[in-house]
Amino acid sequence: MKNIVIDVHAHFIPRLLYARYDANAGKFPGVRLLRDGKGTRMQFPGGEPTRPISPKLSDTADRRAWMDRNGIDRRSRRCRCSTAGSPPRCWAKRSTRVSAE
């Protein structure tokens, strides 16, 4: 049996997240999605804007190529949805097969 290498610390931001936020921004008072010369950043109530969100976090083709170059067979994605303060959190765990056997 072949050993499988799994990336258990993979960050991912679906591109659809930005469109859904734009369409529903009114439901998130105080949360801002900033698009400026520094890139795309978020700002939560009472806080400074985050550092720019890397476009590579949404690029699945780039991620798959990186995984293939590094001998990683699968990744475990964990989606954490939260806001500032004592946030409610939602967790979604899913293994994604990205390279052929």
The answer to whether residue 61 is domain-embedded is yes
CA distance 11 to 77: 7
| pLDDT bracket for residue 10 (50, 70, 90) | confident
The answer to whether residue 54 is domain-embedded is yes
Q: How many residues does the chain have?
A: 101
The answer to whether residue 55 is domain-embedded is yes
| pLDDT bracket for residue 13 (50, 70, 90) | confident
| pLDDT bracket for residue 39 (50, 70, 90) | very high
The answer to whether residue 1 is domain-embedded is no
pLDDT tens, position by position, 51-94 = 999 999 899 899 899 999 999 998 876 555 544 444 334 434 44
Count of the separate structural domains present in the chain = 1
Does the pTM surpass 0.85? The reply is: no
65: domain range?
Answer: 6-97
Residue 45 has pLDDT above 70, yes or no: yes
CA distance 70 to 73: 9
